[in-house]
Every structure is written in C-alpha cells, then in structure tokens.
A and B are shown apart, each in its own frame.
Chain A
C-alpha cells in the first residue's frame, strides 16, 4: 500500500443516502481481471444524466467525496473503492459507511472519515456554493479542516489502520510475521473441521 499523504483538495458533494456499490460500479464492469482502470466507469449509470454532479466540471479535480449515510452498502465488490480511488478520490467523508466497504477502503489506502450529518451538511453547502473551496485532511492529527481554518473537526480512526496508512504497510506482510502464532493456533484446531482435499 502506498503511504497516505495529507490531502488538500476540493470536495464533490454527493448528497445521497444508502448509495450501493452497484451504483458506484455496475456489475458489467466486474468482468475485468485487472485491478486498475475502473475510474472511468465510476457511477456509470448516474453519469448518463447530464445533471449528475460528476459531470459538473467545477468538481473535476475533487479529491474528497462528501457522501450520505450508509455509503457503499450492498455487494462486497472491491471494484467500488478501486473505481473511487482510480477516479482521483483520496478521502471519503460520510455520516456512516457500510462495513465491508469500509474494510475494502482500508485495504487500499482510501481514507474513510466519519463526521456528523450536520458537519457534512455544512461542507456540502460550502462546496455547492464555492466549488473550489478546499479542505485539509490530516491523518496524523485526525482532523478535517477548511483551508481558512474556520471549521475544524476531529475524526476517529483505529490505530492499526492509521499506522498502516501513514507508513504504507502491507497488511499481509504484517500478518505473515505472526507465523508462530498462526501455526500454534493450527496445532490445537479441531481435527473434525472439514477439508476440501483428502
């Protein structure tokens, strides 16, 4: 995973609740066997509507997505975070995220920040009014702030994720260092559990 650098960027206000991963990336694009190149299919169906915010050129360079509650619900497809990341988003801010989606984002270095609906409403209104207005997301301090410093909020992040993000650690590599504990666990694991190969 690459290291997470602090983000200074403008926001794309996607003000909808319960956005599912079928909308983020429709199933027909899941046939690709690569991990990259999903950005151009992000919100593919909604993008056909000329008024959809992703078509608004003022937000073309946005690196922060302001989303509604339960963002990323539905399918476990990691293609959804891949598409968001490939499109250029580094941080997603929402009142809540779906569980599997949240884990998937953490695995690829896409930061998910939970703020209150009220705070998000404020940021949405601000970026609707001033599309170029920027926010600063600082993972070290765990803060989201407006560039002028008039708004600053702390957010929670679990220490493991924070460390992995800041140091760009490979989670599989870290687990493999625990080989001793894993083998020890396997020693005392029930013999009765099923095996797919004799």
Chain B
C-alpha cells in the first residue's frame, strides 16, 4: 500500500513517464506556455533538427515581455522587439500553436492569462520559459519555470527530465490584520527563508491565512516562490479554487465538470505525510512590508527603518547589506516612511489582476498623485483592462494622475520603453528589486498594491494602517 503522500508527490507521480537511473524522472507536461523572449532559439533549433511540436494542443503562446503598453497601433519604437514578436508569430504559424496576439483581448502576462482562461487547473504539470511560472501553483498545479533548451525539449517531446525535488511545507496560521495582504505574506516568508532557502525544494503553502486568501492573493504568494529559491510552490485546491474556475473558457463543462471536481478534491496532502522541511509563521505577526535592498528578502515592516550593516553577524552579510544600501542610496536608520519616491508601478504577474487594481483604486479614489511622482497602472491582461474599465477603475486612476496602460510585463523588467531612469526610486508591485531590474541605475522597492497607491498620493511610503 501507498504511504501518506503530499500533494506534490501525488502530482509528480501522476506524471511519471519513466524513472531513469541517476534519480532523474521523465515527467509528462500538461500545459506549455510560450512567450516571445525565451522561445525563438528553441524554435530555431527545432527547425534545424527537423523536429515537430509533439502536442500543439497542449501549448499556448502570447506576447507580454517586450510589447509596448501604449500606442500599440503605431509603429513600435524598438525594431528588436518588433522582430522578436514577429518571430513568435511566424513560429506559431509554422508549428501550429495558438497565439493570443496584441490585438486579442485575451493577450496579457502569461501567468495572468493561464488562470484567467481556465487553462491552469488543479493537478496539472505546467511549464513556461519564465521563472514566475510558480504562479500557477495557486490553483493546485505543479508549475515551474524552465530555460530555452528545456522549452525545446517540451516542444519536441511534451516531457521533461527532472530531478525529484525535496518538499517543504510553509504554514501561515491565524489571520491577517487590516491593511496586510498576500504580498506582505510572501515578502515575510522570503525574509524568513532567505533568497536561497528554497533551493532544491517544492513548497506547499498551508494554514488558515492561505485558505482565507482570494485566488488572486494565492497567485501573488505562489508567484514569488522563486524569490525564495524554490522553483514551484502550490496550494491544494478547495472551494475558492473551484468557484474561481467554474465557467472559464477552457474548464470542463456539465458532467465533465463534476468528474473533474471529484479528481481535484483528492488533491490534498494526506494526514501524516512527510515534508523534508517545515516553516511556519503567524498571520498576526505580519505587517505591511517594504523592501529596502537589492534582493526580495531584504525587507522590513513599513513602520521600521533601514538596517545598519554594522549589526550584521558575518562580514559577508555586512558587505552584502552595504552593497545594497550603496546601490539604493539609503542610509542606515532612515525611517521607511521618510523615503521619497519618483515613480510608482502597479502591475506585473505578481499584482496586476482585477482584485489588485480594485485594492489600489480604493486607496486612490478621489485623491491625486503627489506632484513629484510619475505613476503608472499596467493591467495584467486585456480582459483585466476591460473589466477594470467596466468598473470605472481606469477613471479613478487617471483622474488621480496615474497613467493607464495596455497589458504586458512593462516596467517589471524594463524590456519595453517603460523603464526607470538612472537614480530614480520606484515603489513597485512587481517581484524583483535586483540592481537595474526596472532600468539601468533604477532603484526598486517592492510593496503591495495598496501600499504603492498610498505612496503615489503621499510622495513617500506611508503605513496604510494609519489611513482613514
């Protein structure tokens, strides 16, 4: 008889085509998401070796990373972006892969559109040439990022050789206090585990706080799993998941829906199943968070201040903090709320869903952006944009002085014209505060959507718990 299993092992074993010697398993891949940046070399090599895409119907493509978010119907500024997008179009045509192109309202950030279309479902294995593929784990899928050679491997074989990972449970119990959201939960988790703490693991998020999160909140948490070093993080599906999925375009209908529900309900970790590593934290201990450094683990509560490198326990740690502070141009002891900003970015696969935009709009409603700030909202998909416009959120933002853009990755990674200028400081709802991530010399502070919105109005960080 089978011992108790974690949900991670259940999905893994369900997809085992073959175990090869040396601990590497061949996994079947149920859904492969493709975008313009990490695929051209894979397709080229498919063409050179005369290989076909094995299952185009398990593959879907969109353009997100370098598409402009304004003036798309005009000629694009950057010929290289044009070439990359055009290359994807050609490849999709040649290999028979469906594409949500820029003129399709379903176009958007690959990790927003998968769940939105109901392509992301519990129990699936999902890959994409993008590290934030972990996002799809929020619906109980085993989803992870891959490189271009692996993209090619999946295109050609619909499988992927993978070494079995260790398992980690991260439990968040209790409840969140007002003003605290999913972004703060995951920033706290990363702060606790460290940016390398999850290397070699797949995480299952558990506990009341996780259960109480909306689907969008769960996606925010799973999205940033990779920032703790783990390739995949997931949440067992429950009624929140099922009601999110019901009626979405690619979800089974009628009696197939009922059958799927039966399968999905079995996707839980058995009582007593073993995890190689366990962490837990209390929801009540989590405060709204701001990163101050150049990796996502370098964060403090908004009520706190910039740490002093001299307090570090090792020289290596001290040097790292000092390096980060130099890059960020911050002094030890500065109160977070005293940090003045130049730019605000609300968007990215972490926080660009309708719920995120509603949370931000609620803070912004009837107010104006501080005069020194340039603020921007970039919805995660064309459909999110439409929905927001139907609800009048776009007006709330534009009346306040925000720019309202078309869907894409935008200033999350600065591949399109939306970038920070050298020295500019930005409060961003994205997921990476690496040096130069949002543009060479740019300085990024990661926060939740309401915190970004409040900072836009004040011109500096504010503790949203103090707002009326």
Contacts and interface: CB of A to CB of B under 8 A. Distances in A.
Interface of A: 16-18, 20, 22-23, 26-28, 30-35, 45, 68-70, 73-79, 81, 96-100, 103-104, 107-108, 158-161, 163, 171-172, 175-176, 178, 181-182, 185-186, 189-190, 192-197
Contact of B229 (A73, A104, A181): A73
B30 A193 contact: yes
A172 B23 contact: no
Interface of B: 17-18, 20-24, 26, 28, 30-31, 37-38, 40-41, 44-45, 49, 51, 56-60, 65-66, 78, 80-81, 83-84, 87, 96-98, 118-119, 121, 124, 129-131, 144-150, 152-153, 156-159, 161, 163, 165, 195-196, 199-200, 226, 229-231, 250-252, 256, 259-260, 263, 295, 316, 320, 413-415, 432, 434-437, 440
A189 B414 CA distance: 40
14 contacts: A20-B432, A20-B434, A22-B413, A26-B440, A33-B44, A73-B295, A74-B432, A75-B432, A161-B22, A178-B159, A192-B259, A194-B121, A195-B250, A196-B98
A98 to B, nearest CB: 6
A158 B23 CA distance: 8
Contact of A78 (B118, B147, B159, B413): B147
B229 A98 contact: yes
A121 B56 CA distance: 48
A79 B118 CA distance: 31
A26 B195 CA distance: 19
Contact of B199 (A76, A98, A186): A98
B24 A76 contact: no
Given A74-B131, A158-B24, A195-B58, A20 B295 contact: yes
Contacts of B260: 192
B17 A100 contact: no
Given A104-B149, A194-B121, A23 B434 contact: yes
A149 B98 CA distance: 57
Contacts of A103: 146-147, 150
B413 A27 contact: yes
A60 B200 CA distance: 33
Contact of B87 (A33, A99, A193): A33
Contacts of B83: 31, 33
A193 B57 contact: no
A35 B17 contact: no
B129 A194 contact: no
Contacts of B295: 18, 20, 73
